[in-house]
Structure 1
Amino acid sequence: MSIQSLGVGSGLDLEGLVTQLLEAERKPKQDRLDKKEKTYDAEISSLGQLKSKMKDFLDSVDELRTSTALKGREPTIVNPSESITPFTAEASNSAVEGSYRIAVTQIASGSRIETDNASAGGFTGTTDTVLGSGSGSLTFKIPNTTKSFNINVTAGMTVQQLSNAINKSSSNFGVTSSIIDTGTVAGGAKLVFSSSVTGQGNDLVIVNNNDLADLNRVSTTNSLEDTPYLVPVTSAKNSKATIDGIAVESKTDKFENTIENVAFTVSEISALAADGITYQTSKLKIGFDTEALDKKVRDFVDNYNALNKQMTTLTRYGTSDLEEDGALAGDFMIRGIQQGMANILGAAVGSSGLGTIFQLGIEFNDDGDLEIGSNDKYGFGSGEDRLKKALEENFDEISNLFTDSKQGIATKLYSFLKEYTSFSGLLATRERTVKDQKDLLADEREQFELRMATTEQILRDKYLGLDQTVARLNSTSSALVAALGS
């Protein structure tokens, strides 16, 4: 039966009555469902926030979990001239601490080949000069390497076309071709071939594969490579430097393991001393990367505090009726995480000479957060002083404090937190459970709406009968009044 407008026949406000009855039926259930949904949403949101903060902290813990991440070496370079920076350096974690005096005396370069003057068999002053009437090929290569590519030369190809073909070759390993017009008839146009392959002995070779006479002008040798034609005007060179007076060379601008586990890359020749002959040396010092470790420790403290504040906010109880409880007020799991982390952070590490994080300058404040304080509270120096001293004097002990396989703070924290943060961890499992409960709540809402629709129909059917009965009585009454009145 379709829903009809009530009260039309009787004149009674039956529509309003049905509405009030339905509202009285709906409200308690609706409020209960809304409250449940709000609770689920708050819990899901809170768990998401908690997971995000915990991930940030876990990343900080991971940065302190391995000795290789903590025992980084930092190269420090002091140059005699502020305007000249001869080299940059990097060192692996296994580099030995030490100090070196380095001077750069030569930068590696590639070879350069120029064609002869026009008067000596070169080209005239135009770039559209034809190379020759025959067809053949040229091979550009660096001997004793795999670097090689071919250029086909067709009959009638010009100097400019050859230059373009070289530069556009997809196999080109670093040869640049250019044309320089000398502006004189005797000089003519010169083809210049520059190779980016550095290192002594790595001169560019151009082979006239078909021994065409016209191509000898742009070749260094014939097909058998036993006859020389053009020769490099500049040969490929090594980089050269001195380390504590010892001469060293490299085929590139990078010296790798010349100093064990250290690499330095040269970019400028060192400045000359007042005598104009002697190269001034730069000081390279290899030491522990205290700045990087200092940052990792401070990030660890900051991210722990952010996580701890988040958990405290979520689990707090309001101190008055005006202050709401946290979304996870009194939650046993979250309190357990806080307590577990505090226990690990407060424990002694016997394998480290520092013993505890206190000797590293880290301590708990009254709010349960970590801090590296600037005040000396206990007569052992401020947190900042203790951290500085540990970085300068006990670098390896800091590593042991965090990375020991059994007692290390970062090792234990990482394993502890992984139980909660992994895909199958406790937090993720709980989050999925709450989402499932919310899905069931949606089904419950749907069933509730169906029941309310049925209840509405029953009420309308009931009061429709009343409306019709009253309407008939009113009609009968009107008829009687009319008959008696007549």
Structure 2
Amino acid sequence: MAISSPGVGSGLDVNNIISQLVALERKPIQQLQSQKTIAQTRLSQWGQIKSALSTLQDAANALRSPSLWNSRTASVSGAGVTATASAGTTAGSFTVSVTQLASEQKLSTNATYGTGALGWSGKLSITKGEWSGGSFTPGSAPTVDVTIAAGDKLSDIASKINAAGAGVTATVVNTGSGLRLAIRSNTTGEANGFSIRAYDSSNNEITNGTGLGGLTYATGITNGMNGSLATDAQLSIDGVAVSSASNTVNAVPGITLTLTGTNTTPAVVTVDNDTKAIRGAIETFQKAYNDLNTLLRNATRADTTGKGDNGPLVGDQTAQTIQRALRNVVGATGPGGLAFSRLSDIGLQVARDGSLTLNATKLDAALSNLSDLRTFFDDTSAGIATQVRDITSRLTAFDGAVETRRNGLQKTLARQDESIARLENRVARTEAMLRAQYTRLDSTLAGLNGLSTYVSQQLAQWNKQG
């Protein structure tokens, strides 16, 4: 009978023996896996460094952007208006007096109606235009007809008006004692008013305000609706009268005024350089540099305690070169002939650990001289932001130092994977060979043990007979 379990025939712990022998064979694999883990950690570290370099590059580019240095802010002292300023707008101030806001035409029916079908058939003709002194002048837009059926309820009529694209919006309002139809123009301004005429199913105009005529508002008829007409905004800017169909006014180049109400005391609008945005860009640059500096410092740290707590890139010449290059550029001199020549002159001082600290007082002083500050950062050859952009661009380029190191590590990982796969195959073959050998040994020893037992039994029998 064949032996089915290793060691049964020999009495040896074959599985344990084979496991130990295979474990010895796997030692090189374990070493490679350990090396692979180190390489993966380094590759991840270089990925983080590349990302941090890109962030610093973006921050440097932001300090070179014309839109940053041309940015303006508008502040308002007083009521009735808010303001925004476009980039490049001339700095200065002016007053704004608001006597009337722009409004849309609003109408509602004089009569109230029930919730059921109204029994009217015909059409409503809605025309956009301008009211003046009780007379209406049609605008350039064509008249829009809305067909009304006898089975329509007031809500159906409102839906049809809204779907017609006539430039007005209809709403049904429940007053508690009945329904009224309210209609308003979609845009403000005197030129954006509207008239409504009603016609019966024979196309005869209804002029007495009855039936479908209860939804009319036009000259020469009995109106079934009343309300307020559209108005233009009336204001003055530094005493100059301005009329606007909208409450958003662009009468001053680069300035958008939003009228919020009338005022009795003129509001003062002041336009100035947006130093808050510039300060924010400088602080973003500081943070991006400090994050990268911390990342590189931790990655290249050498343990001095003897515990082996080194950074993943300790001794890496490329990482150390990047550290030195970046520290050199933040300590470099900017363009000549300016009120400041180094980052420390505008309040960004290099600390002992290589990070940048901010002196708010110095930065405030620098922000009062935007012309020099802009040149200090964005000069095309010697600007500090230009220098940082150039070095980060070189480092993160396809053939730059960072990508070279990443590509090298990726190739190392690929080779290690190939080596591990080959060794795994060899270990599998070795284990199979050992199991075959021990199976044969088991069979041989089992046979010998059987023979030994037989001989012992025969000898014992002979001794009894003697």
The equivalent of 2:215 in structure 1 is 218
* Counterpart amino acid of residue 203 in structure 1: G
Identity %: 26
For residue 61 of structure 1, what is the amino acid of its counterpart? A
- Which segment drifts farther, 332-341 or 171-180? 171-180
In structure 2, what is the Cα distance between the partners aligned to 1:359 and 1:245? 45
Conserved? CA contact 1:131–1:159, under 8 Å:
no
- Which residue of 346, 357, 368 corresponds with 2:354? 368
Shift of 1:102: 1.8
Cα distance between partner residues in 1 of 2:410 and 2:241: 70
Aligned positions of 1:239-258 closer than 5 A? 239-256=233-250, 258=251
Partner of 1:176: 170
Instruction: Tell me, in whole angstroms, the C-alpha distance in 2 between the residues paired with 1:8 and 1:148.
Output: 104
The 3 A distance-change label for structure 1 pair 113 and 15 is closer
Other structure's SS at 1:242 match? strand
Distance 1:197 1:312 in 2: 61
Deviation per CA, 1:343-392, whole angstroms, max 9, x where unpaired?
Answer: 332222226443222221112111111111xxxxxxxxxx3221111112
Q: 1:164 to 1:19 in 2, by over 3 A?
A: closer
* Aligned equivalent of 1:291, options 276, 301, 307: 276
Structure 1 range deviating more: 442-451 or 201-210: 201-210
Question: Which residue is 1:20 aligned to?
Answer: 20
2:413 is equivalent to residue 438 of structure 1: yes
Pick closer, same or farther for the CA change 1:426–1:219 going to 2, 3 Å. farther
**Does the 8 Å CA contact 2:345/2:362 hold for their aligned counterparts?**
yes
AA aligned to 1:176 is A
Consecutive unaligned residues of structure 2, counting only runs of 5 or more, are 130-137
Aligned-residue offset at 1:171 = 2.7
Q: What is aligned with 1:36? A: 35
Quickly say closer, same or farther: Cα 1:166–1:422, change in 2 above 3 A: farther
**2:291 matched residue in structure 1:** 306
Aligned length: 443
Cα deviation for residue 424 of structure 1 reads 7.0
2:340 to 346, 350, 354: 354
Task: Supply the RMSD in Å over aligned alpha carbons.
Answer: 3.2
- Partner Cα separation in structure 2 for residue 15 and residue 201 of structure 1: 97
Worse-matched range after superposition: 260-269 or 342-351: 342-351
Distance 1:470 1:364, change over 3 A: same
Return the alpha-carbon distance in structure 2 between the equivalents of residues 201 and 313 of structure 1: 68
CA distance in 1, matches of 2:127, 2:416: 75
- Aligned position for 1:260: 253
| Cα separation, 2, equivalents of 1:313 and 1:148 | 74
Aligned-pair distance for 1:252? Answer: 0.4
Change (3 A) 1:91 1:470: same
Residues 1:136 and 2:129 are matched in the alignment: no
Pick closer, same or farther for the CA change 1:136–1:233 going to 2, 3 Å.
closer
Change (3 A) 1:124 1:294: closer
Deviations 1:376-421 (A, max 9, x none): xxxxxxx3221111112x0122211112222222233223223344
1:182 shift after superposition:
11
C-alpha offsets along residues 251-306 of structure 1, whole Å, 9 cap, x if unaligned? 101111x2221111011211xxxxxxxx2122211111122222221221122111
- Once the two structures are superposed, the pairs formed by residues 9-408 of structure 1 within 5 Å of their partners are 9-27=9-27, 29-79=28-78, 85-114=79-108, 126=114, 130=118, 132=120, 134-142=121-129, 143-144=138-139, 146=141, 149-155=144-150, 157=152, 159-167=154-162, 169=163, 171=165, 173-178=167-172, 191-208=181-198, 210-213=203-206, 215-220=212-217, 230=223, 233-256=227-250, 258-270=251-263, 279-350=264-335, 352-372=338-358, 383-392=359-368, 394-408=369-383
* Matches of 1:315 and 1:348, distance apart in 2: 27
d(CA) in 1 for partners of 2:145, 2:394: 61
TM superposition shift of 1:453: 1.5
Deviation at 1:101, TM superposition (A): 1.9
Equivalents in 2 of 1:469, 1:190: separation in Å?
A: 109
Tell whether the 8 Å contact from 1:199 to 1:237 is kept in structure 2 after alignment: yes
Deviation at 1:447, TM superposition (A): 2.0
Q: Report the CA distance between 1:125 and its aligned residue.
A: 5.9
1:244 deviation in Å?
2.0
| Structure 2 contact 29–424 (Cα < 8 Å) conserved | no
Partner of residue 469, structure 1: 444
SS at match of 2:324: helix
Shift, 1:18, TM fit: 2.8
Distance 1:419 1:229, change over 3 A: farther
> Deviations for 1:129-170, whole angstroms, at most 9, x for unmatched residues?
8474x4335234344355875421224545554234324x26
What is the CA–CA distance in structure 1 between the aligned matches of 2:312 and 2:175, rounded to whole Å?
81
Distance 1:307 1:156 in 2: 73
Compared CA separation, residues 458 and 112, structure 1 to 2 (3 A): closer
Which is further off, 315-324 or 467-476? Answer: 467-476
Greater mean deviation of Cα atoms: 474-483 or 399-408: 474-483
Q: Given that residues 180 and 189 in structure 1 are in contact (C-alpha distance below 8 angstroms), is that contact kept between their aligned partners in structure 2? A: yes
Counterpart residue number, 1:276: none
Does structure 1 retain, via aligned residues, the 8 Å contact 2:62–2:281? yes
